[in-house]
Amino acid sequence: MRKGPLVLLSFLSLLVFWGSGFLAVRIGLEGFPPLFFMAARFLIAGILLFVFLAARGSPLPTTRQWTAVCLESLLLMVCGGGGVACAQLSVGSGLAAVGIATVPIWVSLFAGLFGQWPGRIEWSGIALGFSGVLLLGRQGSLKADPRGALLLLGSSLTWALGSVLSRRLPLPRGAMAAASEMTVGGLMLLGLGFLLGERLHGLPPLRPILALLYFSLAGSLVAFSAYIYLLQNVRPALATSYTYINPAIALGLGMLFAGERITKTEIGAVACILGGVAVIVLGNRGTDEAGTPRLGHNGKAA
């Protein structure tokens, strides 16, 4: 299959599965502590994918690659995913999506520090999309308490940094990167949860268990693998632009399943968000086939 259709399918999977993931986390927290929920999510998906790839004869990570995997797992799974789950103890799924929508801003800044600043068209899309995020953030139902806001900010920063570093670290190539990162990240989250006193008191109810299975298979096994593919094949601003649409999806799910209403301001915000993503996509046309510097055999820019 050509790279273009794979990029499109990967991006769509992020919109569907990660857009609904905020609601899945909120449901999961009805029966699981936040770090345990995220640990189980990553371990289920990571182990399944790792075993599948190993059985097919995929090369296992080297010692040097495992070191890079540990750093990426700390930034993406523990600080990024774990931070979002902890934040959702005090903020709603819509607000969590709004907070994470700042990731492309930080990605662009971090990428610029490594010499890959966005072009003027991409900056326009980032500004337009972020203006929509700000409009959503003004709504009373989306106002965070200080702890939740700080957790979301920290999660966005670490997720962005991990996304940028993934192109420069000696990580395993292809799906093995996702499998190893999810497995290591799940183990880190499990250990951190124990250290912070998280415990399971009996079997959780069916609803949180179903949310865990959905997010493990769809949100991790499929979507995180797609995200790793995008990071390796398109520009960082495009790979993370899905975060602009997630707030709109979260609001839509809130209407369907929680009886929430969307105001005229929110409709305008959604229009800005979708327009920003469109501008970012158009800004990536005319670049090389990957949209980024050519990668060498070790995953670094050649």
Residues 66-103: tens digit of each pLDDT = 999 999 999 999 999 999 999 988 887 777 887 788 88
Is residue 302 domain-resident? Answer: no
Is residue 178 domain-resident? Answer: yes
Between residues 52 and 276, the one the model is more confident about? 52
Is residue 145 domain-resident? Answer: yes
Considering the entire predicted model, what is its pTM? 0.82
Is residue 297 domain-resident? Answer: no
DSSP string over the chain = --HHHHHHHHHHHIIIIIHTHHHHHHHHTTTS-HHHHHHHHHHHHHHHHHHHHHHTTPPPPPHHHHHHHHHHHIIIIIIIIHHHHHHTTTS-HHHHHHHHTTHHHHHHHHHHHTT-PPPHHHHHHHHHHHHHHHHHHTSGGGPPPHHHHHHHHHHHHHHHHHHHHTTTS-PPPTHHHHHHHHHHHHHHHHHHHHHTT----SPPPHHHHHHHHHIIIIIIIIHHHHHHHHHHHS-HHHHTTHHHHHHHHHHHHHHHHH-----HHHHHHHHHHHHHHHHHHHHTTTS-TTSSPPB-TTSSB-
Domain count for the chain, please give it.
Answer: 1
Is residue 300 domain-resident? Answer: no
Residues 102-159: tens digit of each pLDDT = 888 888 888 888 887 888 888 888 888 888 887 776 665 455 567 888 898 899 999 9
Is residue 298 domain-resident? Answer: no
Percent of the chain residues past pLDDT 90, beyond the cut: 42
Residues 15-43: tens digit of each pLDDT = 899 889 888 998 999 999 999 999 999 99
Is residue 274 domain-resident? Answer: yes
Predicted confidence band at 294 (pLDDT cuts at 50, 70, 90)? very low
Is residue 299 domain-resident? Answer: no
Domain hosting 80: range is 3-283
